[in-house]
Amino acid sequence: MTYRINEIFETLQGEGTFTGVPSIFIRLQGCPVGCPWCDTQHTWEINSADEVSVARMMDKSEASPHWATMSSDDIVELIKQRGYRAKHVVITGGEPAMYDLRALGEALEAQGMRLQIETSGTYELLITPATWVTVSPKLDMPGGYLVRSDCLSRADEIKHPVAMQKHVDALDQLLKGQRLNADVVICLQPISQRPRATELAMKVCIERNWRLSVQMHKYLNIE
């Protein structure tokens, strides 16, 4: 099994339950969902002309659609060579659930690492049992994909972007009648740090005992 890797880097997780936790991010190439506010639109398309060597992919100084093909063993070895110390690994994209992530998950867990996947919930999850699943449901996006019930029922965390009350209402409608994990964490995340969106998210989180996700990495200006 090989993966199209847009970038691998070590930083702090800036969103959701693990905010502030040192993390290794593995960003996969490809996503057809088409969220208008997406801040990684360079990961959407998979073009053979954008394939580069692992060395060139790792040396990128700015966001680009260039990706490299790597196996699970390649990724583990790169993490060792780079001397990354974080034990929390975030598999993101793009849409990482486009890939079968079981081999990668098993290889990383064998190194004592904890995995988190950040997904739109629009693809079947092929992951290890121990993987922490963050579903950020994308509703009525241009790609036309539906959020899967099996993804929601597997979610450890549901992290929903909001700007207006209609986004909260859409989440309510999505979760209506849905079987969720008893201890699932529900986070509201203001889109683009807009003040009105933040005020709304804070209000709803307090009312419902949900959690606010403020994208700390953008306030700190880190990747």
Q: Is 35 annotated as a binding residue?
A: yes
Question: What's the pLDDT band for 1 if we cut at 50, 70, 90?
Answer: confident
Between CA 8 and CA 146 the distance in angstroms is: 28
Lowest mean pLDDT among 38-47, 106-115, 136-145: 136-145
Predicted TM-score (pTM) above 0.85: yes
Q: Is 94 annotated as a binding residue?
A: yes
Q: Is 151 annotated as a binding residue?
A: no
Between CA 164 and CA 166 the distance in angstroms is: 5
Q: What pLDDT digit, counting tens, does each position of 142-172 carry?
A: 777 899 999 999 999 999 999 999 999 999 9
Domains detected in the chain: 2-159 (3.20.20.70)
DSSP 8-state symbol, 87? -
* Top-confidence residue, 195 or 71: 71
Q: Is 131 annotated as a binding residue?
A: no
Q: What are the E-state strand segments in the chain?
A: 2-12, 22-28, 68-71, 88-92, 114-119, 132-135, 157-162, 185-190, 211-212
Q: Is 14 annotated as a binding residue?
A: yes
Q: Is 12 annotated as a binding residue?
A: yes
Q: Is 13 annotated as a binding residue?
A: yes
Of residues 157, 172, 168, 158, the one with CA closest to residue 199: 168
How much is the average pLDDT of 65-72?
A: 98
End-to-end CA separation in angstroms for the chain: 28
The SS3 assignment for 208 reads: helix
Q: What pLDDT digit, counting tens, does each position of 73-91 carry?
A: 999 999 999 999 999 999 9
Q: Is 37 annotated as a binding residue?
A: yes
Q: Is 205 annotated as a binding residue?
A: no
Q: Is 38 annotated as a binding residue?
A: yes
Output the CA–CA distances (angstroms, integers) from residue 85 to 61, 88, 94, in the order listed: 22, 9, 24
CB 37 within 8 A of CB 162: no
Q: Is 187 annotated as a binding residue?
A: no
